[in-house]
Structure formats: C-alpha cells, structure tokens
Chains A and B, each alone.
Chain A
Amino acid sequence: MTDPASAAVAAIKLLNLAELMLDMLEESGVALDEVVEMRAKAKREGRSNLSNDEMAILANRARSAIDAIE
C-alpha cells in the first residue's frame, strides 16, 4: 500500500517536471523566434548565416542567462 504522502510528493515532482519541460520548450521557442528573425534579416542583406558580431551577441545573452541561475 502506497503511503499517501509519498504519492503526493511523487505527483508534485511529476507536475513540476512537466511545468519545467513546458517552460523550457516555450522559452526555447521564444529565443528561437528571435534567432529566426535575425537570420531573416541576414538573408535580406544577402548573408546565409549570422555574422560573428551577431553570434557574439547571442553567446553573451546565453552566458548572462546561465549566470543568472542561482
């Protein structure tokens, strides 16, 4: 017989995991949309990929987002 308290903890873990995964998808989708628009702008300017400066901006943003995790 499963202890109700343990079952509740397990359910909360699953819900938290589901929420985290959905958030990761959503946030990644938002970041990807921004990259898509940067690429579209580059394409209009005759470039097939982002410039080194644009990549540096993305890399800095990634580093800042990682550093913000405490």
Chain B
Amino acid sequence: MKSITVTTSKWLIFAVMAFSLAACESLSVVQTAEDGQEIRFDTVKGSIEYTEAMIIGTAEATKKARDNQTMSEATALKIKESLLESQDVIETAQVLANEMKFDEAETKVAASRAALNIARKLLKLPIIGDTQL
C-alpha cells in the first residue's frame, strides 16, 4: 500500500510539471486582441493584470471541481487560502506599482518574479493521500 502511494506521488509531480510547462506555453505573456493589437504582459503592471487572470481562472476551476465533487473540501480550502494570499500580494503590488517608477530592467525582473510566484503557488495544489484530489 505504501509503495503505490509513493508511485502515485511521483506521477502527480510529473503531471503537475507537464501541465505547468503546457500552461507556460499556452498562456503566453504576449497575446493578440480581437482587433489584432498585440498586448504584452511583461511589465510590472502587465504581470499584475496577468496574475489576476490566473487567480480568477484557478478560483473558478477550483469551484467547478468542488461542485462536481472531484475535489475534497480540505483541498479546496487549501487552494482558497493560497489564492487569498496571492490576491493580497497582487493588490499590494498594484499599490506599489502606482507609487513607484520602474526602469526596463526592473520590470523584467518583477515580471519574472511574479511568474515564478504563480508557478510556486500552483505547485502547492495537489494533495496526496486523500481519496479525492
């Protein structure tokens, strides 16, 4: 019984890594609007806007999984806590971005940090050892 748990954990980690990579590929920081305009999210404010979309998407998918009962209440609450923490960080970043001027080098560093932060939060999601996710 113990060996199957270990094997499952490894598979879950690989699955999360694969989907994180897919997410990076499919949700690019450069998007095209319906009118053909190129919209970039590689500045501080852009990364804040991008992160807001990720938080909304993650929250809605979590609610859906909970409604379909494919996710346990404990997992949903952990994700909720993580998302609230991320939202607090984003709102603080928004205030700071309004007050400060960033040069090009700083914006790139800040955007990278924001992206890493999202990945870190997402990687905390899977819970092992529950009959549901």
Majority-rule SS of A interface residues? helix
Q: Does B96 belong to the interface (CB within 8 Å)?
A: no
Interface residues of B in 91-133 (CB under 8 A from A): 91, 94, 98, 122, 125-126, 131-133
**What string of 1s and 0s marks CB contacts (under 8 Å) between A39-65 and chain B?**
110011000011010010011011101
The interface on chain A, measured as residues whose beta carbon lies within 8 A of the other chain's beta carbons, has a size of 48
Majority-rule SS of B interface residues? helix
C-alpha spacing A70/B27, complex, angstroms: 27
B-side interface size class: 35 or more
Residues of chain B at the chain A interface (Cβ within 8 Å): 1, 3-4, 7-8, 11-12, 15-16, 19, 22-23, 26-27, 31-35, 37, 39, 43, 45-46, 48-50, 52-66, 70-71, 73, 76-77, 79-80, 83-84, 87, 90-91, 94, 98, 122, 125-126, 131-133
